[in-house]
Chain A
Amino acid sequence: MYEFEFARPETVADALQALGEEDAQALGGGQTLIPTLKQRLAMPTTLVSLGGIAEIKGVCQTDDGKLAIGGGTTHADVAAGASAYPALAALAGQIGDPAVRNRGTIGGSLANNDPAACYPAAALASGATIVTNAREIAADDYFQGMFTTALEEGEIITEVRFPVPEAANYQKFLQPASRFAMVGVFVAKFADGVRVAVTGASEEGVFRWTEAEAALSANFSADAITGLSVAEDGMIGDIHGTKAYRAHLVGVMTKRAVTAAG
């Protein structure tokens, strides 16, 4: 790692001030950023830990029935605390490994937007709202391609608000080495329709499979997907699987998610 200054503010306001310095960078749980720093792929002058900010931690339900999760909440705390949204709790409980889940945070994951991360699929399929210190961003507007989001420099995710669907499920097919999602599909059935978000598969990062959404909104059963497929073009092809394989897995995982959601 390159040398950097370390700051650990206790309020969002102090964090924003610290992040206002040139080349300052926010540190969530560090489970992606610290390995990145070790490879010297980032060179912040100041690393602003969000780990000391109590006001952005925790899980609660909002008055309008949504599940609100503080941006600094760890995966382990979501897995344990999001019982109002079991599919989301289950997803959080499958991220990385137990030690990673004790440090990694939902805000950190969404801010990073790794194309194989799990949370983006949940946020997009749920139609979540990403709340920052400055504004509220709809998930549909938030994810802008691999490692790219609507966040401005120095903006902090303070909360993520999830509408709780009638039925939902996340199916993750593991990349054998990293155990990130080779393909992960989150299906969420709401009264007004079904949303399907796919992570791991696309060169553009998380995306909604609108064709499947339409079919499932009409008929929420695995059979509804039969015959549908995502285009191979634009899928990730690498040493773990070809584009064709990933496109195939999107269909398989979607069916399984629908079946499991019931």
Chain B
Amino acid sequence: MPKDIDAKESGIGAATKRREDIRFLTGTGNYTDDINVNGQAYVHFLRSDVAHGRITSLDTSAAAAMPGVLRVFTGADFEGIGGLPCGWQVTDRFGEVMQEPAHPVLAQGKVRHVGDPIAAVVAESAELARDAAEAIELEIDELPAVIDMKAALQDGAPKVHDDLTSNLCYDWGFVEENKEAVAKAFDAAAHVTTLELVNNRLVANPMEPRVAVGDFNRATGESTLYTTSQNPHVIRLLMGAFVLGIPEHKLRVVAPDVGGGFGSKIFHYAEEAFCTFAAKALNRAVKWTSSRSEAFMSDAHGRDHVTKIELALDADNNFTALRTETYANMGAYLSTFAPSVPTWLHGTLMAGNYKTPLIYVNVKAVFTNTVPVDAYRGAGRPEATFQLERVIDKAARELDVDPIALRRQNFVTEFPYATPVAVEYDTGDYVATMDKLEEIADVAGFAARRAESEKSGKLRGLGVNCYIEACGIAPSNLVGQLGARAGLYESATVRVNATGGIVVMTGSHSHGQGHETSFPQVISEMIGIPEDMVEIEHGDTNNAPMGMGTYGSRSLAVGGSAMVRATEKIINKAKKIAAHLMEAADADIELKDGKFSVAGTDKSVAWGDVTLAAYVPHNYPLEEIEPGLEETAFYDPANFTYPAGAYACEVEVDPDTGKVTIERFAAADDFGNVVNPMIVDGQVHGGLGQGIGQALLEGCVYDEDGQLLSASFMDYAMPRADDVPFYQVDHSCQTPCTHNPLGVKGCGEAGAIGSPPAVVNAVVDALRSAGKNVTHIDMPLTPARVWAAMQG
């Protein structure tokens, strides 16, 4: 809001303009597709055009003889080489581990979704590679495909993986021990509201399609992969250790400027492994640039849950129990973090902002002949929020109570609060964010606005909801117990140069979040030097210490905390040097505005004097401390962070066509402390755009044979500038996180989590205002669907 922007000129809380913008605005960014290695060749993947089938014949000899072709690879070239690993193992409600199929780089005998890579042609140009791919002689014995999740679980359904017992990946219950108590609470309820809904399948569609360039240096034996990744170290570990057997010191992964990710660039993909492998095999760099059409059938998709949710209330409208049953689509293979999304990132958030005492969540994860599904902005938390906030809205309608009042009545108000789904909210103030929302959304003025809309023949609706998310992912020891095959700490090396400038090498990765600007603000604040004395380096495993990357709104909360810890070490050491220079005791040294002074005296030395002394240690306590000024810290969070907020959407519905227009959208968020309010606003705006996209426009649709019907921007509706309004966003309600040094919570996903239920609640409200007995419409709320709902 106006009050905090420009409130400070630099440091924490300042709306510092982004330094990275200069290169992006002048066309001098360095994205992966801008990287060309001398002598590089190009790969084109031959992909399955059927959803399920057995490869009966694959003859590449004609293709290999085509002009410019270096080699044609098939699954046979990858026999004995690892498949793509899954990074999370879920244990089901019977104590058994999930079914985990092999995920080959190139198909081994069977294809399991449209787009499954079968062969790879490497040639002197991309067009020659594509020309040759058409000469591959391929025969596939097509098998019946399973697309619908419930059908996939029927006895006798075709199996996606012949070696698994069924298409069920796992049947997860949470908290299993509560199941009976929840059932009893439902038996005793004064009112039960039930809702069946779909959380629509989405495609992340960052504007930059994925690209991979593999390179190999025969002299050093080092492989290099340039890739569009949110977490290059994770790719190095997964690909090196589990797929190709390359140790970390012989494998460099570089994720340069990355054009958006939204989750879809977390995962390790076959194309990355292929380019790295083929570069070594051919002793030539190998480049792959995805087309958008290819992205639709090879990037992991998001969401795709089918849920039944039930809410029990007592006679006073207090929530007494919640029960859900969800079918979660895994697609044909387990993408890197797929199993965690419908379980630990979803079930643990089912309490929402409410003190519901008893909750039971059941999730059945299902294999189908579709593209793998994994985390997409919000990942599990949007699905949880959507169900919960829709069922509460429906309950309010059934009970004829104000939906905002029903929420307020059931808010968690005392913190810390241990939910019945295993997490502890450290802090929050849901009343404050709802108050703020009612103010900025002008809820009081809605009735008048509705009357105006009705005069012009439009139906107007108001939808309100809350959300909570778990960010700052995550405490390693906790996620280890939950099945993560990774730690989720973050790292930073702070290198102070002799003349005082600083380079921070962070394991976090910026692909739009503005770390190059916001991270220096933190160091500037801590040391009291100008922000432009600090540079951020990220994205190159040869520079940054092992880090887990950027997703789950974790960069500042976890990566920023690591940077703070490393900077604290720097300051401690610098104080010792300063003490020596001023012949004072360490404990008496104070650092302020870039100057070290001795408490109670006028003695001081400048930051630059100390840093110079560290590297020119002529007058230096060499017997006590080493020269140099460079420190590394790894930060492992004690808990998740819990951003929360309240959102309001106002829509107009054209009753003749069913077209929905977003007239107003307001978001009141509590992100704890804020480092750069301009960037935070931008993150919320972007999340809202994607959430509104999910609610109104976006839907990834397969037909019953497994053909992708929404296979390009011609059929997958991306939000455009005229689909959305100016947003009213506010983050002035701030309850700082209690367990990280900056008191920050994370803001990247909030908009995408909080907005879909607001939109749907608003449309249902609008239709009800016209006397339509509509209780729910599945997303996306296209004009056709809204119109159809109005006819029923």
Contacts and interface: CB of A to CB of B under 8 A. Distances in A.
Interface string A232-260: 00000011111001001100100000000
Nearest to B134: A40
A173 interface: yes
Interface residues of A, number: 19
B784 A245 contact: yes
A249 B657 contact: yes
Given A239-B699, A240-B782, A241-B782, A177 B293 contact: no
Contact of B714 (A40, A178, A241): A178
Looking at chain A's contact residues, the main secondary structure is: loop
B744 to A, nearest CB: 37
Contacts of B718: 177
A46 to B, nearest CB: 18
A5 to B, nearest CB: 15
A242 B714 contact: no
Given A239-B699, A242-B788, A245-B784, A176 B717 contact: yes
B163 interface: no
Contacts of A240: 715, 782, 784
Looking at chain B's contact residues, the main secondary structure is: loop
- Greatest chain A CB density within 10 A among B783, B784, B787 is at B784
B656 interface: yes
A96 B701 CA distance: 24
A3 B787 contact: no
A179 B127 CA distance: 30
Contacts of B717: 176-177
B697 interface: yes
Nearest to B700: A239
B713 interface: yes
A1 interface: yes
A239 B715 contact: yes
Interface string B713-726: 11111100000000
A227 to B, nearest CB: 15
B656 A176 contact: no
Contacts of A176: 697, 717, 782-783
Contact of A239 (B134, B291, B709, B787): B709
A239 B127 contact: no
Interface string B286-307: 0000010100000000000000
B322 to A, nearest CB: 33
A47 to B, nearest CB: 15
Contacts of A39: 293
A252 B787 CA distance: 12
Contact of A245 (B131, B699, B715, B788): B788
Contacts of B788: 242, 245
B710 interface: yes
A245 B787 contact: yes
A1 B714 CA distance: 19
A177 B656 CA distance: 20
A177 B784 contact: no
B787 A177 contact: no
B487 to A, nearest CB: 41
A47 B656 CA distance: 45
B656 A241 contact: no
Contacts of A177: 697, 710, 713-718
A177 B131 CA distance: 30
B715 A241 contact: no
A3 B126 CA distance: 12
A248 B701 CA distance: 24
A3 B784 contact: no
Contacts of B293: 39
Contacts of A249: 657
A73 to B, nearest CB: 25
B715 A173 contact: no
A255 to B, nearest CB: 8
B715 A178 contact: yes
B720 to A, nearest CB: 8
Contacts of B709: 238-239
B716 A241 contact: no
Interface of B: 127, 130-131, 134, 291, 293, 656-657, 659, 697, 699, 701, 709-710, 713-718, 782-784, 787-788
Interface of A: 1-3, 38-40, 173, 176-178, 238-242, 245, 248-249, 252
Given A173-B657, A177-B714, A178-B715, 10 more contacts: A1-B127, A176-B697, A176-B782, A177-B697, A238-B709, A239-B701, A241-B782, A241-B784, A245-B784, A245-B787
Give 9 nearest A-B pairs by CB, closest first: A177-B717, A241-B784, A176-B717, A178-B714, A245-B784, A252-B656, A239-B701, A177-B715, A239-B709
